[in-house]
Amino acid sequence: MGPYLLRRLVIAIPSLLGISVVLFAVLALAPGDPFGELATNPAIPPEVRMALRVKFGLDDPVPLRYLHWLSAMLHGDWGFSFASRINVDTLILQRLPATLFVIGSAQLLALVVALPVGVYAATRPYSVFDQIANTLAFVGFSLPTFFTGLLLILVFSIQLDWLPFVYRADIDATGWHWYWEQFRQSIMPITVLGLFQGASLTRYVRSAVLDVIRLDYVTTARAKGLGERTVVIKHVVRNAMIPVVTLVALQLPAVFGGAIVTEQIFRIPGIGALLISAILSNDTPVVMAVTFVFACLVVLFNLLADVMYGWLDPRISFG
Amino acid sequence: MAGSIPASASAEIAGAPQRPARPFSPWLDAWRRFRRHRLAVASLFILAAMIGAILLAPLIWRVAINDIDFSAHLEGPSWAHPFGTDDLGQDVLARMLYGGRISLAVGLAAMMVAMVVGTIVGAVAGMSRGWVGPALMWLTDLFLSLPQLPLLLLVIYLFRDTLKAMFGVEGGVFILVVVVIGGLRWMPVARLVRAQFLSLREKEFVEAARALGASKLRQVVRHILPNALGPVIVAGTIDVAAAIIAESTLSFLGLGFPPDVPTWGRILYDAKDYLDIAPHWALFPGAAIFLTVLSINFIGDGLRDALDPRKVM
Amino acid sequence: MQANGTTAPLLDIRGLKTHFATDDGIVRAVDGVDLAIARGETVGVVGESGCGKTVTAMSVLKLIAMPPGRIVEGQILWQGRDLVPLPTDAMDDVRAKEIAMVFQEPMTSLNPVYTVGEQIAEVARRHEGLSRRAALEKAVHMLRLVQVSNPERRAHDYPHQFSGGMRQRVMIAMALSCDPKLLIADEPTTALDVTIQAQILELLQEMKSRFGMAIMLITHAMGVVAETAQRVVVMYAGRVIEEAPVERLFANPRHPYTQGLIRSIPHIDKAATKKERLEAIPGIVPSLIDPPPGCRFAPRCRYAMSVCREAIPPLREVEAGHKVACVL
């Protein structure tokens, strides 16, 4: 397991570098001078402007600028937010927990729904249950998160007035009351994101289970007289999880997309909402940093998926 | 050979009549398999009806999309305005019919971009035997792990002003959205095409073509691509739906089309702050996006049954 | 069975029909098979791919996927009790405990995520209620019996760490760990190298002398049958067409198809492929969806007469223990 993990870790570094190159290339190809907001401001005297241009290295060749930018990012020097008037890394660290909480809970909800439904449907292919589950899964991932979010707000906040539709980071309550309020305000965003992911995850699980269930070793397990339940759980689901982990990891970038929308709808103070507001206020350092953080999160979760993969499949970890 | 699954009788058993021998045609066969997917067939009709409405209805529903009428603002559905009006008293139906054309056009155009890029990358990666293939696949995997929406937002943030200046507001945003959505969705197609190539290029009929001295390009165009077509068509269909969602998402975030280009996502964006007093304004475009995407996804599923019967997912 | 015919046979398949529903119609994979196996006897079931021998075996353990498969007709009498109407959980008590099976593909028949020790131990835990530790000890014991060297350590290895021949030994260890009365071996050597094939057949013989179980050996290789079986059942297109003690069958094959098969034996010592062997008998196996009326071999048979194309000739006894389904 050790060498395998090390190998994955080593592979993760080039992809992180690759992503940073893509991001920086986009920035460098962009017309105009996105970092130059300050430097082109006519209110600033020319000498200061020149000094700033030198400080940002705007006149250097692109590869050099990339190296400067990368080393600054690696040193934790992520720049200064023009709009919020604080350091970008501080700003992101403030916002990250809310995002991770929502994404994590939604992923958990998705798994709790998708695993039993997908497995049950796959063991009874073409049954009424399977067809209903399949149809609902299609509905689930055809419903854009922004529309489900609005629908839930319309029903549960406006019509029924059960749940708040604005997520607040600073609930003025303590103890149980705080948890209750936190729970109430999290229900809708987590449901929106969780059901969206759960829908496609259900299809992944069903399809993976269907692929495994006809393999020879499942017949072997049946020939042992193990009983349908044991066969399915021990010999089918356990093996079907291997491709599912990969598919979940592949789906992650889309999850972050959904998180941005959800944060925007429910005004969750996470990094997704931060990205949107930074774009609307032309706050380039924040836009770049948040995009990079999202990319790092994807790589990080892919690494986690690799760990899971190696743990689930002895052929990998002992290979 | 799966084991004894105590399942209820499948559709195949119940409805498998002994068919008489019939002339074999791959397209007829595919259509026969597609027809069995009832939801896909129903979706085909719904989508056709929606496209028909979008294309033809403006000829009948002659209400201008920017007819401002403050005396009739935020009205619910009525005979004068079947889908109600917005905050400026503009007719939501007329705006949706207009915006639908753009939403669908974006979806189709972005799909084309994704297909072309994906097919080229996949084909090159699948045919080359040196380092090019692995390098392209590394690039594909890299793009797959890019967080798409943030990157989409970043690119739009950086480029929109220039393109607006070059192609006008509507054209600039259209090109940007199509290229970026398409440019971030080619990876699954590339993987599919490459996988097809790798398995097909060793097949006998390609060997035969090679032995007969067919050039590489000819091998690809005449012998491999047609065989890789099925899964690619399926992926392309689903890409249309994904592109429509992506465009709506951008517009919904206020970063896609400007307010005078009422795509469905844009209407939703404008409507979301009036959810309490004018829910119809958000519900109609939202339902339109949902129905379109659902229909396309079901059609994609039916096409998968029809063209790529080996795959389950 | 007439040879030692005192009691009822261990396994008595009567008029078995297993059909599959497909898009193109009903495939009559097994269409009226009669087959009996006595206690401790080795019966070879031969025939080319798709003749229904595997489906017959899978039907005995009811491992056919249902749907699309279905046992339409017939009885599978196991020690006098019909298995066909048995519910799944009762069937689970028969599987591995009384009738065990070894499959054709050792490379894919073991679950890649569990150690072979765990997979063998699973059988004893299920049927003998052993603890995890005791079952693992038993697994090590079984591995030793099938001559896997260093069994204590190997029990903790995963299937991908074993070669094909070794995996088949593991499968045999697994099958025999609850001392079944019948072992169904479905082409146990087909996927293996020629040298390994001989070793596995030898191991099966050895296990038989130790455990005394009956063996139903399914194969398409006549040579394998000649070496191991006492009695041979020849199948063609879902039906039994000839059945005889092994020496009789080789000395005096009655059915034209069997004659063709036996003429093709010299190819086998070069590990003949199916294709080569098929060339010896002209024509191809008929479609099992709409099989021709009458004898299913008639279209390929050089002696075929008009009567052959009208009705299926019944299996009739031509000598003691020698039955053939041919009008000749």
Picking from A220, A224, A314, the nearest residue to C113 by CB comes out as A314
pLDDT of residue B193: 83
Check C111 against A223: CB less than 8 A apart. Answer: no
Check C66 against B1: CB less than 8 A apart. Answer: no
The count of domains in chain A is 1
Q: Which residues contact B60 (CB under 8 A, 6 or more apart)?
A: none
pLDDT band at residue B65 under the 50/70/90 scheme: low
pLDDT band at residue B312 under the 50/70/90 scheme: very low
Residue of chain B whose Cα is closest to the Cα of C71: B4
CA-to-CA distance for A316 and A242, rounded, in angstroms?
A: 11
pLDDT band at residue B11 under the 50/70/90 scheme: very low
Picking from B10, B254, B289, the nearest residue to A144 by CB comes out as B289
Residue B116 placed within a domain: yes
User: Mean pLDDT score of chain B, rounded to an integer?
Assistant: 77
Q: In what order do the strands lie in the sheet with C69-78?
A: C25-37, C11-22, C69-78, C81-82
Residue with the two structure tokens 């020690």: C79
Any idea what the CATH number is for the domain that residue A188 is in? 1.10.3720.10
Check C160 against A227: CB less than 8 A apart. Answer: no
All residues of chain B having their beta carbon less than 8 Å from the beta carbon of residue C67 are 5, 7, 9-10, 12-13
Please compute the mean of the pLDDT values over residues B187-208 and round it to a whole number.
77
* Cβ atoms of residues B280 and B273 within 8 Å: no
C residues 242-261 lying closer than 8 A (beta carbon) to B: none
All residues of chain B having their beta carbon less than 8 Å from the beta carbon of residue A264 are 253
pLDDT at B46 over 80: yes
Question: pTM, whole model, 2 decimals?
Answer: 0.81
Name chain B's partners: 3 or more CB pairs within 8 A: A, C
pLDDT of residue B2: 36
Q: Which residues contact A25 (CB under 8 A, 6 or more apart)?
A: none
Check B248 against A144: CB less than 8 A apart. Answer: yes
pLDDT at B7 over 50: no
Check A26 against B158: CB less than 8 A apart. Answer: yes
All residues of chain C having their beta carbon less than 8 Å from the beta carbon of residue B2 are 65
B60 touches chain C (CB under 8 A): no
Picking from A215, A227, A230, the nearest residue to C108 by CB comes out as A215
Any idea what the CATH number is for the domain that residue B147 is in? 1.10.3720.10
Question: How far B290 CA lies from chain A's nearest CA (Å)?
Answer: 5
Which is more confident, A169 or A291? A291
**Crossing angle between the packed helical segments A88-123 and A175-213, to the nearest 10 degrees:** 50
Check A224 against C174: CB less than 8 A apart. Answer: yes
Helices and strands (DSSP H and E) totals, chain A: 13, 0
Residue B120 placed within a domain: yes
| Domain with A231 in it | 97-282+301-312
Residue A102 placed within a domain: yes
Residue of chain A whose Cα is closest to the Cα of B276: A158
Give the residue numbers in C contacting A (CB under 8 Å), as ranges.
61, 63, 65, 88-89, 91-97, 100-101, 103, 105, 108-113, 122-123, 126-127, 158, 160-161, 171, 174
* Cβ atoms of residues C183 and C209 within 8 Å: no
pLDDT band at residue B15 under the 50/70/90 scheme: very low
User: pLDDT (tens digit, 9 = 90+) per residue, B120-179?
Assistant: 898 888 877 788 888 888 888 888 877 778 888 888 878 877 777 777 767 777 888 888
Residue of chain C whose Cα is closest to the Cα of B9: C67
pLDDT of residue A133: 93
Residue A292 placed within a domain: no
Residue A140 placed within a domain: yes
Residue B203 placed within a domain: yes
3-state secondary structure chain C: CCCCCCCCCCEEEEEEEEEEEECCEEEEEEEEEEEEECCCCEEEEECCCCCCHHHHHHHHCCCCCCCCEEEEEEEEEECCEECCCCCHHHHHHHECCCEEEECCCCCCCCCCCCCHHHHHHHHHHHHHCCCHHHHHHHHHHHHHHCCCCCHHHHCCCCHHHCCHHHHHHHHHHHHHCCCCCEEEEECCCCCCCHHHHHHHHHHHHHHHHHHCCEEEEEECCHHHHHHHCCEEEEEECCEEEEEEEHHHHHHCCCCHHHHHHHHCHHHHHHCCCHHHHHHHCCCCCCCCCCCCCCCCCHHHCCCCCHHHHCCCCCCEEEECCEEECCCC
All residues of chain A having their beta carbon less than 8 Å from the beta carbon of residue B312 are 207, 210-211
- Judged by phi (left if over 0) then psi (alpha if -120 to 50, else beta), residue C32 lies in left
Check B2 against C65: CB less than 8 A apart. Answer: yes
Residue B117 placed within a domain: yes
pLDDT at B201 over 80: no
pLDDT at B3 over 70: no
Question: How far A317 CA lies from chain C's nearest CA (Å)?
Answer: 11
Residue A63 placed within a domain: no
Give the residue numbers in A contacting C (CB under 8 Å), as ranges.
214-217, 219-228, 230, 235, 238-239, 242, 312-315, 318-319
**How wide is the angle at C-alpha C154 spanned by C-alphas C150 and C159, nearest 5°?**
145
**Percentage of chain B with pLDDT > 70?**
77
Going from the C-alpha of B45 to that of each of A53, A226, B42, the distances in angstroms are: 59, 47, 5
C89 touches chain B (CB under 8 A): no
Residue C10: closest CA among C261, C232, C216: C216
The count of domains in chain B is 1
Question: How far A120 CA lies from chain C's nearest CA (Å)?
Answer: 16
CA-to-CA distance for C181 and B191, rounded, in angstroms?
A: 51
Residue A14 placed within a domain: no
CA-to-CA distance for B248 and B286, rounded, in angstroms?
A: 9
Residue C18: closest CA among C9, C10, C27: C27
| Domain with B48 in it | 31-55+92-307
Question: How far B189 CA lies from chain A's nearest CA (Å)?
Answer: 14
Residue A18 placed within a domain: no
β-partners of residue C69 are C20
Residue A92 placed within a domain: no
User: pLDDT (tens digit, 9 = 90+) per residue, A99-128?
Assistant: 999 998 999 999 999 999 999 999 888 889
Q: What ipTM, to 2 d.p.?
A: 0.84
- DSSP of B295-312: HHHHHHHHHHHHH-TT--
Picking from B3, B7, B19, the nearest residue to C67 by CB comes out as B7
pLDDT of residue A38: 53
pLDDT at A273 over 80: yes
User: pLDDT (tens digit, 9 = 90+) per residue, A128-186?
Assistant: 999 999 999 999 988 888 888 888 888 887 778 787 777 777 777 777 877 777 788 88
User: pLDDT (tens digit, 9 = 90+) per residue, C6-55?
Assistant: 567 898 998 899 988 887 788 888 888 899 999 989 999 998 887 888 89
Pair of tokens at residue C134: 């005791």
All residues of chain C having their beta carbon less than 8 Å from the beta carbon of residue B16 are 21-23, 25-26
Check A135 against B39: CB less than 8 A apart. Answer: yes
Residue C115: closest CA among C163, C158, C172: C158
Residue A242: closest CA among A304, A312, A316: A312
Residue B23 placed within a domain: no
Question: How far B216 CA lies from chain A's nearest CA (Å)?
Answer: 31
Residue of chain C whose Cα is closest to the Cα of B6: C66
**How wide is the angle at C-alpha C75 spanned by C-alphas C69 and C80, nearest 5°?**
135
C residues 56-85 lying closer than 8 A (beta carbon) to B: 58, 62-68, 70
| Per-residue confidence in pLDDT tens, chain C, 328 aa | 444 445 678 989 988 999 888 877 888 888 888 999 999 899 999 988 878 888 999 999 988 887 788 888 888 999 888 988 888 888 888 898 899 999 988 888 999 999 999 999 999 898 888 899 999 999 999 999 888 889 999 999 999 999 888 999 999 999 999 889 999 999 888 888 888 888 888 898 889 888 889 999 998 888 888 888 899 999 988 889 899 998 888 888 888 888 888 877 654 445 445 554 444 566 677 777 877 778 888 888 888 788 888 888 888 888 888 888 887 7
Check C21 against B16: CB less than 8 A apart. Answer: yes
CA-to-CA distance for C182 and C184, rounded, in angstroms?
A: 6
B24 touches chain C (CB under 8 A): no
